[in-house]
Amino acid sequence: MTEGNFVDYVKIHIFSGKGGKGSAHLHREKYITKGGPDGGDGGRGGHVIIRADKNLWTLFHLKFKRHVKAEHGGNGSKSRSSGADGSDEYIDVPLGTVIRDTDTNEIIKEITEHGEEFIIAEGGMGGRGNWHFRSSTNQTPRYSQPGIDGQAIDITLELKVLADVGLVGFPNAGKSTLLSVITAAKPKIADYEFTTLKPNLGIVKYRDHQTFVIADIPGIIEGAAEGKGLGHRFLRHIERNSTLLFLIPADAKDINEQYEVLLDELRRYNPELMDKDRLIAISKSDLLDAELKKELTAELDRKLELPYLFISSVAQTGLTELKDKLWEMLNKEAV
């Protein structure tokens, strides 16, 4: 999936259908000039329904769909014939989509199960025909009900990536390079900050034809929890990952300090993220000679409480151990 096709945020104006009018028809035939009421009911207006589809990975198909309008209900007619219900309009979304009211920013619904359907705007009820208003004192009512108007609402759809492992790190830490090496994903890679502007997903092929999904998420900068840089645009994607892989380059001035900054940003954004499993990968370890690696290992053993691994995406070292460790963490409950 190319970065340009990954759309994780769209705004849509929703209109449900208006209910059809009830009929005020009076029965007439060749020899019946003053028949009673026989007006039918109006049909229901169409609903607008959000539907979950596990085969979708992005909101790209909705990028240019700014308005969604369901069909109006049909009007009632003579012989107590009801109008047809308006056709429902479906909006298919990937799993992990959050629906917000654009005006209030309140979460309306989170979509997490395949096939799940949620009526975001109900169609208006059809009006009742004059058949319903006949009585002993009013045998020929010449009125009926109009249909009820449909609903209009502005919604925002936000996608939280559903992946097993989320890659967390500062810009230019080597996340995209790692993803390109251990999966078939082809993220944009360059030697400057914020090369990755949107999440990239890749499937890691493990042993015995087993797989897991890893997401390269845009790099953190200090203050991301307050919305600086890419801020909340990337942080929401981490909420769905079961395991967090912190990627810190071997040439960082202080690896432990970088980890603490990354962790603090996540904590300030959502304290529940602290409950996720974490692993540190020291990237670009091909820059270290044996002596430097030994010194760094002694320092990390003293400072870090978290398991860590040395890897190099360029030299392709430590990657098998990394996949083994991630697989173990993802499946620890089943072991």
Contact 142, 24 (CB under 8 A): yes
pTM of the model: 0.63
Q: Which residue positions form the known binding site for Mg(2+)?
A: 176, 196
Give which of 98, 95, 100 is closest to 155, Cα–Cα.
Answer: 100
Measured in degrees and rounded to the nearest 5, phi and psi for residue 273 equal -65, -20
Fold entry, domain 165-330: Rossmann fold (3.40.50)
Banded model confidence at residue 173, pLDDT cuts 50, 70, 90: confident
Q: What mean pLDDT comes out for the span 245-260?
A: 88
Q: pLDDT digits over 64-77, tens only?
A: 889 999 999 999 99
Beta-ladder partners of 163: none
Q: Which pLDDT does position 219 carry in this prediction?
A: 52
Cβ within 8 Å of residue 283, ≥6 positions away: 173, 174, 177, 178, 247, 248, 249, 250, 311, 312, 313
Radius of gyration of the chain (CA): 29
pLDDT at 230 over 50: no
Banded model confidence at residue 334, pLDDT cuts 50, 70, 90: very low
Give the residue with greater pLDDT, 39 vs 176.
Answer: 39
Q: Which two tokens stand for residue 56?
A: 């979708």
Q: Which residue positions form the known binding site?
A: 169-176, 194-198, 216-219, 283-286, 312-314
Please tell me the distance from the alpha carbon of residue 239 to that of residue 244, in angstroms, as a whole number: 10
Banded model confidence at residue 155, pLDDT cuts 50, 70, 90: very high
Q: Which residue positions form the known binding site for GTP?
A: 169-176, 194-198, 216-219, 283-286, 312-314
Range in 37-51, 52-66, 85-99, 187-201 the model is least confident about: 187-201
Banded model confidence at residue 39, pLDDT cuts 50, 70, 90: very high
- Give per-residue burial for 175-200: e unless 16+ CB within 10 Å, then b: bbbbbbbbbebebeeeeeeebbebbb
Q: Which pLDDT does position 330 carry in this prediction?
A: 85
Q: Which two tokens stand for residue 251?
A: 């040439």
Q: Which pLDDT does position 236 carry in this prediction?
A: 60
Contact 309, 325 (CB under 8 A): yes
pLDDT at 186 over 50: yes
Across the chain, mean pLDDT equals 82
Banded model confidence at residue 233, pLDDT cuts 50, 70, 90: low
CATH 1.10.275.10 fits 1-159, yes or no: no
Distances (CA, A) of 140 to 20, 25, 132, 144, 287: 22, 10, 11, 11, 93
pLDDT at 175 over 80: no
Between the ranges 49-53, 134-138, 228-232, where is the mean pLDDT highest? 49-53
Q: pLDDT digits over 109-125, tens only?
A: 989 889 999 999 999 99
Start-end of CATH 3.40.50.300 domains in the chain? 165-330
Start-end of CATH 2.70.210.12 domains in the chain? 1-159
